[in-house]
Copies of this chain bind each other. A is one copy, B any other.
């Protein structure tokens, strides 16, 4: 097993893929390797990208990756799929273009599902970020879909979070109001070739003005992945945001936040495994649920009984 962590540190793609599969499958042997690589992490810039479906995030990731490759930076891409059993990974079609990136030794691409028992981004995501970081990726791009808890979670992992919008999205302002405002380090208005771009940017400008941060105004970058426009400006803004973080000590704070979220996630997962996988306890839990359904027991008393069996 020692060999695997060395190969990952050397950037070997097959070894990276192997460890990722192990953590996704909760393979017990993954833990040892994860422990071994941790000291070699923390160098990669982690960039999260979120926005509604159809906003062209995949194309934007592709263009960003190409641009970083020109700077000779190694790029890891993690695409979070809201996997459906009906489609088996809905957005595969969008990612076909990624194939020509995947033949580049300096790029590693991985799709991950979101389906976890307890919600939020899959707990393996923290591990995958550490793996790509230890493997020497300079930039880790994480793409996630939707508006909801996933975004809140990506903020815990990313150093810089990009919120992608598109022109003419009637409810764009409402969407932003509903929680994206506090998530965005940079707003990206993609599909800048489409009509309505000025209005969307103007709406965003006035919203950004409401945020009271004298040190930094959230920048708004118009891009067209299709016409390859605005990508350099976006990279400049990402770099400037990371400089800002480092200057203002917010960088350490964000990293601590990521480690805290990761630690909580590991603890949560181990406790839940303990409660639901351990044979004897599983019987207790199932029996409690029966009694709750029959109104012979209430959920709070049941929780106390189960916790009493496991806590010191």
| Interface residues of A, Cβ cutoff 8 Å to B | 31, 34-35, 38-39, 41-42, 53-54, 82-87, 90-91, 114-115, 118-120, 126, 145-150, 152-153, 170-171, 174-175, 177-179, 181-182, 210-211, 252, 255-256, 259-260, 262-264, 266-268, 270-272, 274-276, 285, 288-290, 292-293, 295, 298-303, 306-307, 309-312
Contact B307 A271 (CB under 8 A): yes
Query: Nearest 6 pairs between A and B by C-beta?
Result: A148-B148, A119-B120, A38-B298, A146-B148, A54-B171, A266-B303
How many Å from the CB of A205 to the closest CB on chain B? Answer: 15
List the B side residues contacting A256 at CB < 8 Å. Answer: 289-290, 293
- CB-CB under 8 A from A292, the residues of chain B are 38, 259, 262-263
Task: Determine how many copies of this chain the complex contains.
Answer: 2
Q: Are the CB atoms of B181 and A84 closer together than 8 Å? A: yes
Assuming the contacts A272-B264, A311-B274, asked whether A39 and B295 have C-beta atoms less than 8 A apart, the reply is yes
- Are A83 and B271 within 8 A (Cβ)? no
A272 with B268: CB separation less than 8 A: yes
Residues of B within 8 A of A114 (CB): 148-149
Query: Chain B residues with Cβ under 8 A from A260's Cβ?
Result: 285, 289
